[in-house]
């Protein structure tokens, strides 16, 4: 099975929240947290379904659902990014679709390296908690320099991944050094995990900015969607990192 399970971050940008004025009930931090939890629940439900299918007597039945979730999630995610006003409807659909993809992907990795999915989930939420604590205590601040650096690094990673996918699809070429289980490959994955984790800081900052600026209520869904995108990316990179460590 190919390994095109790479996505990149942040939909929560300055542009997304710029000049948004609340007309009626305003966005709240608690509302965004609640909706983020709801999206995670949706993803877990559909992930459990494809996970169970992949572990059944006909595991190949999970493949169309996995690819459907992967491609559908990409389309719905792009639509949500360009039309935040739709996020109350598109964000839950995105979470359900991503769950289908993640369940199949996790089952694939878990078949190769038993227990890896549970480890990746635990590490992902541990990183989320650590980044939230460091952000709330002021240990890490979303300065303009940090934002520019993280966004540049994220864009570079996305460009590298897209180039590799293109080269693999048309010329059957890859970059063994970054995909292997050697020092360079593991080091690259650690770097990407760190960038994904720092994107969480940007997410926290953008959500707080939107709340303080009185953004409209639907932006709670958009903020939750942005957190979901980053967490999905972080989880997939955790899977890749752990798989490289297991191969050593």
- Its pTM stands at 0.89
Q: Which residue range forms the structural domain that includes residue 124?
A: 14-247
Which pLDDT belongs to residue 7? Answer: 37
For residue 14, the surrounding DSSP H or E stretch is helix 14-17
Domain total of the chain: 1
Question: Is 6 part of any domain?
Answer: no
Question: Is 76 part of any domain?
Answer: yes
Q: How buried is residue 159: exposed, middle or buried, by Cβ count under 10 Å (0-12/13-18/19+)?
A: exposed
Question: Is 8 part of any domain?
Answer: no
Question: Is 175 part of any domain?
Answer: yes
Question: Is 186 part of any domain?
Answer: yes
Beta strands in 93-187 (DSSP E): none
Task: Dump pLDDT digits (tens) for 110-132.
Answer: 999 999 999 999 999 999 999 99
Question: Is 2 part of any domain?
Answer: no
User: Which pair of structure tokens corresponds to residue 71?
Assistant: 């491609």
Question: Is 124 part of any domain?
Answer: yes
Question: Is 4 part of any domain?
Answer: no
Task: Dump pLDDT digits (tens) for 148-167.
Answer: 999 999 999 999 999 988 88
What's the CA dihedral at 145, 203, 8, 120 to 10 degrees? 120
Question: Rounded to the nearest 5°, which phi and psi values hold at 216?
Answer: -65, 165
The angle, 0 to 180 degrees and rounded to 10, between the axes of the packed helices 183-212 and 29-54 is 140
């Amino acid at each position: 099975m190919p390994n095109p399970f790479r996505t990149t971050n942040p939909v929560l940008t300055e542009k997304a929240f710029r000049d948004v004025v609340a007309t009626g009930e305003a966005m709240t931090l608690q509302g965004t947290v609640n909706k983020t939890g709801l999206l995670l629940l949706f993803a877990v439900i559909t992930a459990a379904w494809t996970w169970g299918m992949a572990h059944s007597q006909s595991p190949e039945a999970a493949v169309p659902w996995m690819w459907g979730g992967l491609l559908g999630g990409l389309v719905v995610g792009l639509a949500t990014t360009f039309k935040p006003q739709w996020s109350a409807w598109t964000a839950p659909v995105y979470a359900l679709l991503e769950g289908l993809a993640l369940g199949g992907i996790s089952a694939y990795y878990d078949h190769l390296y038993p227990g890896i999915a549970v480890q990746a989930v635990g590490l992902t939420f541990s990183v989320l908690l650590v980044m939230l604590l460091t952000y709330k205590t002021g240990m890490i601040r979303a300065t303009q320099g940090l934002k520019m650096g993280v966004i540049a690094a994220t864009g570079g990673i996305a460009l590298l991944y897209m180039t590799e996918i293109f080269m693999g699809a048309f010329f059957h070429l890859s970059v063994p050094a970054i995909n292997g289980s050697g020092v360079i490959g593991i080091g690259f994955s650690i770097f990407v995990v760190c960038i994904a984790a720092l994107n969480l800081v940007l997410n926290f900052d953008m959500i707080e900015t939107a709340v303080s600026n009185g953004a409209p209520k639907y932006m709670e869904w958009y903020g939750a969607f942005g957190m979901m995108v980053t967490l999905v990316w972080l989880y997939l990179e955790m899977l890749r990192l752990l798989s490289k460590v297991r191969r050593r």
